[in-house]
Amino acid sequence: MDIKPGTLIANRYWILSHLGSGGMADVYHAQDKNLLRDTAIKLLHTELSNNTQFIERFHHEARAAANLSHPNLVTVFDFGLDSEIAYLVMEYIEGQDLKSYLRQNSPLPIPLAVHLMQQICSGAGYAHRAGLVHCDLKPQNILLTTDGRVKIADFGIARTLADINPEEHSEIIWGSPQYLAPEVAAGGAPSAASDVYSLGIMLYEMVTGSLPFIHTDAEELLEMHLTQPPPSPRQLNADIPATLEQIIFKVLAKEPSARYRTADQFGRVLEVYESKELELPQEGFSISALPNDESNEKTELFPSADIIRIDWLAITLSLLAFVAIGGLVPFWIWICLLYPTCPINAP
């Protein structure tokens, strides 16, 4: 699709420059002339724009994506059809995608990789709770802002879990082969667990500098996802802690039930790992300010100080006994005063 700078889409969006191309669309930097803000506009390829069923599904998914509001998701502003070209208008992000960053900096320091993946899990987990799966999570769809925030892009092919039709999956292969879950490679329906597998491939790539499965033939690559175990990450990078390797192996399990079911669960595991294993950069760090090697030092899994255990049941029973006895003393004095022989009445 050849759209020149200065072209006006939907009588509202001025095309400024071409940002990139994908399997189903071209993405442009544009300006919303009504709101005077920069946007990214995705123009679907002509063959897709002319497919009525696809456009209906695309609009349904765009509405669902537009309802998502999360700091780690690219916001969808608008969608529609202009001169038989379907378009999707999104938040414009200044920065670069994770794939470009990895080409220059991989493998990433372990703290940085875990920190970035936590943000990705946060955004994807929010979408999972809303009933959406991404279906095509890969570093090219992960944008890094100049202040170090992660933004997940391209929910344009996301499917609502309720709308998945099992009868059509044998004819559809979703996602990119390098990051595709085994069950999806076999023609099954994408799910939140499928997204988790894709996240595991990305984390593997971030900490080792390599993909676990590499082949020039797409069918052979899919077969590797289905049948072959991933190589040990620690053999590629000895700095990877054993605990993190075990987490990666779990999310790359062939069976979806053996993985963490949602990105939220994966993120919580990484949070626990972070608190026990690493001193990680705080929110708002700059991508350009990579942590030093010293930040990889492990902290103690358990504090050295003795833990004082308090028996709250014993304390509660003691308080009740004290109150009971303390209440009987005034009652005994009152009874005693009723009798002349009471010692208290003695002159």
pLDDT at 323: 58
Same domain, 40 and 53: yes
Range of the domain at 35: 8-91
Q: Are residues 84 and 103 in the same domain?
A: no
> Could you tell me if residue 307 is inside a domain?
no
- Distance of alpha carbon 158 from alpha carbon 172, whole angstroms: 14
Question: Considering its fold, how many domains does the chain have in total?
Answer: 3
**279 and 173 within one domain:** yes
pLDDT beyond 70 at 12: yes
- Position 46 confidence tier, pLDDT thresholds 50, 70, 90: confident
Last residue of a domain, one of 91, 115, 130: 91
Q: Residue 186 above 70 pLDDT?
A: yes
pTM summary value? 0.75
C-alpha pair distances (Å), 4 with each of 1, 8, 9, 79, 306: 10, 9, 11, 20, 69
More confident residue, 93 or 346: 93
pLDDT at 264: 96
Residue 303 included in any domain: no
Are residue 137 and residue 258 in the same domain, yes or no?
yes
Looking at the structure, tell me whether residues 87 and 117 fall in a common domain: no
- Residues 222 and 339 occupy one common structural domain: no
Both 203 and 281 in one domain: the answer is: yes
On whether both 33 and 99 belong to a single domain, the answer is: no
In a domain, residue 301? The reply is: no
CATH number at residue 121: 1.10.510.10
Asked, for residue 263, whether it belongs to a domain, the answer is: yes
pLDDT value at position 51? 79
Same domain, 274 and 149: yes
pLDDT of residue 316: 66
Residue 250 domain-assigned (yes or no): yes
Q: Flag whether 3 is in a domain.
A: no
Annotation says 293 is catalytic? no
Name the average pLDDT for the chain: 81
Asked if 82 and 223 sit in the same domain, the reply is no
Is residue 210, in this structure, part of any structural domain at all? yes
The reply to whether 150 and 228 lie within a common domain is yes
First and final CA of the chain: distance in angstroms? 113
Q: For residue 75, what is the domain's CATH number?
A: 3.30.200.20
d(CA 153, CA 134): 9
Catalytic option among 136, 154, 195, 264: 136
pLDDT at 280: 45
Are residues 121 and 77 part of one domain? no
Helices 98-105 & 192-208 angle (0-180, nearest 10): 20
**Domain-embedded: residue 47:** yes
End residue of a domain, out of 32, 59, 91: 91
Domain boundary among 68, 91, 114: 91
